[in-house]
Amino acid sequence: MTYVQTVLVPSFVEVAVRTCANLGGLIAVPLLLILGFRDWLITSRAKLPPWRNGLALSSMVLPSLVWLSRISMSVVFAGPLHINHFPHVDPLGLLATLLYSSLLAGLLAIALTGKARLLVLSAVFLLWAGLESGIYF
């Protein structure tokens, strides 16, 4: 990490890394969440207690909502700015809320077991990376 902070990285490398993280956050997140939900439904839902099933389901719903809000923000911000009144809040505050919601989903994913836990955690990490790739200094 300190190498990137102290040495100038070529622009094509930065663009390639950001593009991969952005596309991974857009394409792979819903696929991983669907696979994680399916695995949880088939293998471990009947074995877990109800409170743990609630946490597990929350860990899959929360990143889905974050992903949908990210998509809707991207679509709305792509339009003309004079008619764009989507967030009446600070965009950085909204981005921080999405990042913290992703972090909470990762913590809730601990309630899952087996392959579903790995799928949902990887979806959350990809979502986090996709959100972070849109931040420029």
Structural domain harbouring 71: 10-78+86-132
State the CB neighbour count (10 A cutoff) for residue 115.
Answer: 15
- Between the alpha carbon of residue 42 and those of residues 4, 69, 114, the distances in Å are 43, 28, 12
Q: Is residue 49 part of a domain?
A: yes
Does 92 reside within a domain? Answer: yes
Is 36 among the domain residues? Answer: yes
Helix or strand or coil: residue 86?
coil
- pLDDT, greater one: 73 or 38: 38
> What is the pTM for the complete model shown?
0.82
pLDDT of 64 over the 90 cut: yes
Please classify residue 124 by burial: count the beta carbons closer than 10 Å to its beta carbon, then call 0-12 exposed, 13-18 middle and 19+ buried: buried
Instruction: Report pLDDT digits (tens) over 43-54.
Output: 989 898 999 999
Q: Residue 68's pLDDT is what?
A: 92
